[in-house]
Structure 1
């Protein structure tokens, strides 16, 4: 059981913070953003094997379905 002192007679209860309007994100600095056409390429392209660091890992298997020896 916690006993609290009564509030001051001059105390006026108010909300903790004012209600904020719904936030709609927008560009902060539009002069520094690229044009919308340059943001993403038309199609996603995988990295070439020579650029991918995964190929250099020891034990990396390049063929996901290896052929079985007869």
Structure 2
């Protein structure tokens, strides 16, 4: 060890790092951007039962004139 205690500190900062030295974190490589999604990314419009447009003039009327006596469900509000 040299006579000057601070000379060792200065020499340590100027010395090469040991061979097993691991450098600091580096910027990770970024992955390639993913390719654009296909036009129909959702299978819903391609499904056979999907109705994409609704026209009230062409839609059949629902049967609103059902007889409540024919309804076999027992609702608490019916009593």
**TM-score, normalization by structure 1:** 0.32
Q: Which has the higher contact order (CA 8 A, sep 6+)?
A: 1
Structure in which a larger fraction of residues adopt helix: 2
